[in-house]
């Protein structure tokens, strides 16, 4: 769904009640994931994923991936940098007995992505931007 993108797949793969609690989008089911994909691709239109590792059972699918994209859209208060970057992440898909995705847990580091794009200082340099006790 994400790399092509093929939003129609969401109707086949995503449960109608899909609504991960950590995702703040006013939609549920296939519409939720379609919105998320559309938004991310508006920021990174050439986004491509490579699956590094994939392990599945009847109830869960674990995916480790690499993403590659160019920052071409406004998002999170940042103007496009037009820089290409790569990142890694992991996702666990929770599968219903009917074979649909009912929940998802995912992790990748936005801060690392913003650092690679030159939008924020590297984590180890943050202390240079704050005085004692976190004061400027």
Task: Convert the pLDDT of each residue in 14-64 to its tens digit.
Answer: 999 988 877 777 788 999 999 989 998 999 999 999 999 999 999 999 999
Residues 6+ apart with CB under 8 A from 89: 64, 65, 67, 106, 107, 108
Asked if the structure places residue 111 within a domain, the reply is: yes
* pTM, full prediction: 0.81
Q: How many H helices and E strands in the chain? A: 3, 4
CATH code where residue 119 lies: 3.10.450.50
Asked if the structure places residue 25 within a domain, the reply is: yes
Structural domain including 55 reads: 8-125
């Amino acid at each position: 769904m994400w790399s092509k993108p093929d939003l129609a797949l969401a109707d086949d793969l995503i449960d109608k009640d899909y609504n991960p609690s950590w995702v703040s989008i006013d939609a549920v089911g296939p519409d939720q994931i379609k919105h998320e994909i559309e938004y991310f691709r508006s920021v990174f239109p050439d986004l491509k994923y490579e699956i590094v590792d994939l392990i599945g059972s009847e109830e869960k699918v674990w995916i480790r991936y690499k993403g590659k994209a160019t920052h071409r859209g406004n998002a999170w208060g940042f103007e496009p940098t037009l820089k290409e970057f790569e990142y890694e992440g992991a996702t666990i898909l929770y599968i219903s007995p009917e074979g649909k995705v009912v929940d998802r847990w995912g992790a990748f580091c936005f801060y690392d992505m913003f650092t690679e794009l030159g939008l924020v200082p590297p984590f180890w340099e943050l202390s240079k931007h704050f005085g004692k006790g976190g004061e400027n």
